[in-house]
Chains A and B, each alone.
Chain A
């Protein structure tokens, strides 16, 4: 227990002081209590901002901590979503269909990412090729799903639906308890907090230090005795499962999915969330992902057609002025500022 606590609060993320953990606890309590005053519709919207966090945290681990940029994490988002839709859709009325769907969706993510990642990492392709290969995979998936419009493209009684996508995907359900509205909000909130702590434990474990070493200098890391191919593959599969978790939540939230969820724009978004916050910090990425999803969703549901343009412009501005990510750089500045203030106070005192 103590060990777990140390892992979760270890040094490999911003936010380590007692003050931080106090604020963190207040935030969590606030989020748990907010259904008391939030309408069910607002809770439903917040669920959407939250459900993208695992996808972003996975990319943060893979890119920020391990140095492998995947431009195609949405492939696993989509795979999990579609597989869930197929399984749960065929088991409607059983009560355990959604759980089977979740397990099936995540298993599919593990298998696909392990096989694909094996070829990428064990072939020791150069680092700059990885984003291209991962992007190509997700675009292939989009193309494939896009041509599944005909009636022959159905699995059991679920239609894949081509570019119109798969509709009527069941909400999450355990026995008779269906998760929508507030229940779904709590379901996502708990899962996301757990994902954050799990990632924080990973980066503070010894495995996490080796990830940093691989990011810094793969050859040096290998010459300290690590099979870097296996390590990179492991992180890639983990990131893909996290992307899959977001995909599951997404289809349970909206009850539909279309091939554009694995298309080019969708593929770029997680990279933007992670870059804007600062890819070397899980917390920064969590904050920026929530904020950018809120901005995007608020703009586009207000009928603004330029939501993506605004998000893109934001990326450019942040990269110009905060190349290591806005949250990371502000946090460092704040930390230095308070150190300086402390020193000044001590000198006066």
Chain B
């Protein structure tokens, strides 16, 4: 990743909900083509950070940049058109629609704006469809899918829009170890293909398998950042996070 430009950056992002500080002074740099894991105990502010990145919440202070463009005040759909794709912590595929409809909805959203679905993102999408086994299930209502496939559907749905960066909030929650490994393999393949990925994860085995760099959030702030070995060797991190897990 050396020499690659910064794809996504935040500077001193802060967000409070009433008296609760959800994030405080978060500054992150995600390089183009990076696969970053964000870990941290419950309530550390991981999901809030994603919500700020996507424009679901507005930060109280601080700035967000995508490819050096300041997007802090852009509405969500414009950030998506710049190339951001998000899956939610609780699955939000369209449960009452079938698989085909879920996958067709995002097509055409990004194509109409500055960002267009390239041949490359088309390939990634096709790849995801086949490894996730969604190809043969087009007319199946989403709510009839098993849990792990519903998680995969949401990832495939986001890929269908042709993003440049994937933000995945606990994509393997509730999956079996085999399904988790499978997910990790797919994400790694997509990343090898050049897709920038940021994953919030609790599962350390998963993090070990995929992450190049790990960011630890704690009480709304970046607590540590480094390779997985540096992070797991870090005494304070073990104490606040790994000790609990």
Which A residues have a C-beta under 8 Å from some C-beta of B?
Answer: 206, 209-210, 212-213, 216-217, 219-228
Contact = CB atoms under 8 A, between A and B. Distances in A.
Contacts of A220: 88, 92-94
Contact of B77 (A209, A213, A217, A225): A225
B28 interface: no
A212 B92 contact: no
Contact of A224 (B56, B75, B113, B157): B157
B77 A222 contact: yes
Contacts of B113: 225
Given A209-B104, A213-B105, A220-B88, A225 B81 contact: yes
30 contacts: A206-B104, A206-B107, A209-B101, A209-B105, A210-B109, A212-B94, A212-B97, A213-B105, A216-B94, A216-B96, A216-B97, A220-B88, A220-B93, A220-B94, A222-B75, A222-B76, A223-B54, A223-B56, A223-B76, A223-B80, A223-B86, A224-B80, A224-B157, A224-B158, A224-B161, A225-B106, A225-B113, A226-B77, A226-B109, A227-B77
B238 interface: no
B23 interface: no
Dominant SS among interface residues on chain A: helix
Contacts of A206: 104, 107-108
What class of interface size applies to chain B in its complex with A? 20 to 34
B110 interface: yes
Can you list the 8 inter-chain pairs with the closest CB atoms, starting with the nearest? Answer: A225-B109, A225-B80, A224-B106, A216-B94, A213-B105, A220-B92, A225-B110, A222-B76
A212 B96 CA distance: 9
B16 interface: no
Nearest to B86: A223
A210 B94 contact: no
Contacts of A221: 105
Contact of B101 (A212, A222, A226): A212
